[in-house]
Amino acid sequence: MTPRDPSLIGFRVLLALSTIGFLWLISPYLGPILWAIVASMLFAPLNAALLRLWPGRRNVAAILTLLAVVAAVVIPALLLGSALIQELSGLAARVRGGDLDVGVVFARFRSSLPPSVIKLVGADALTDLDAVRSWLAGNFATGLQNVLGRALNLGQSAFGLVLGLGVMLYLSFFFIKDGKDIVASLSRAVPLDKKRGSALLARFVAVVRATIKGSLVVAAAQGLVGGTVFWTVGVHAPLLWGVAMAFMSLLPAIGTGIVWVPVAIYLLATGALWQGLVLVFCGFFVIGLVDNLLRPFLVGRDTKMPDYLVFVSTLGGLQLFGFNGIILGPVIAGLFLAAWQLHLDEPESRPPRAAPAKKA
């Protein structure tokens, strides 16, 4: 068949429509599919080690790997979500009951400022601070209730949550067991020659795996350490603060400092000196060093995306895809980076060298 053969054109149209229809069909389960792929990629080394221990026992190795996923990821995530909802409920109850008056907390912080700072700020700014205090006092409870409402709605749709979790675990088993076969099929389906396709796939997988390990695992570690430090110094709702730090650590240009620095300033300004100093010390030398210590160990020699690219792609992914954008954003950026690196490495993409000048 020639490229302009009507039957070939019709087949390609059918192929495109069927692909679009299939993607539309599975779009409600984009989240479970995405996280199943992530789990299979992160636990692929464990599955490979089990296969070396029991050659040919792919089902056994996949089941044991899946159990490791459940024990290391699913159960802790469920426990964390349950504890977070309870903590949010308690915090909302304190706000509604008047035990936690944000306006009083803000006023106490302002009154604890040194006279030199107050003089530097000036009367107009203090008036602005009063406006900010009033705004916080009037809107904090409403905002917290909205967040709690979203969390409770997630908890109420228990069937959807269980179904999504079941789909994720079911697909994880097959992605773990047949991952290499699936990747080989996809590489054949991509309209690229074998050399380019293999190189692009290898770079893409290396970039995505390094980004996932260097982002999610480090974020979880920083959130755990940060929440523990907050609990140690007696800050209320340490689990909520820990989750906030884990989320902010996914954004390289922002980091966990946007969470613990204001809290440390408040503790120091209100006279809780040892708590504030402990938080400052741990923020700089414990929470801050987790990234420097863990990331090289987790990423190793894998290709790592620049921090600015991770930052922009994560924000864009969150804007377009919601929570799943934490993964989808860097994945799309990883494909972009891998494709351009492959293009730049090809000899025909390099400018020709100028011929050496002939000697007179």
Contact 47, 62 (CB under 8 A): yes
How far, in Å, CA of 318 to CA of 328, rounded? 9
Token pair recorded at residue 45 = 């080394």
pLDDT tens profile 284-297: 888 877 877 777 66
DSSP 109-148: HHHTS-HHHHHHH-HHHHHHHHHHHHHHHHHHHHHHHHHH
CB atoms closer than 10 angstroms to residue 339: 14
Contact 304, 210 (CB under 8 A): yes
pLDDT, residue 123, reads 45
pLDDT, residue 71, reads 92
Contact 287, 226 (CB under 8 A): yes
Per-domain boundaries in the chain: 28-179, 190-345
pLDDT, residue 311, reads 79
Dihedral in degrees, nearest 10, Cα atoms 211, 216, 218, 222: 150
User: Token pair 């087949």 is at which residue?
Assistant: 11
Token pair recorded at residue 63 = 């089941």
Token pair recorded at residue 50 = 């089990």
Report field, pTM of the whole predicted structure over 0.85: no
pLDDT, residue 62, reads 92
Residue count of the chain, please give it.
360
Q: What is the largest CA-CA distance in the chain?
A: 94
Contact 176, 66 (CB under 8 A): yes
Mean pLDDT, 10 residues at a time, the chain of 360 residues: 68 86 87 87 88 89 92 86 76 62 56 55 49 50 51 56 87 89 74 70 73 78 88 84 83 77 82 85 83 69 68 83 80 81 68 54
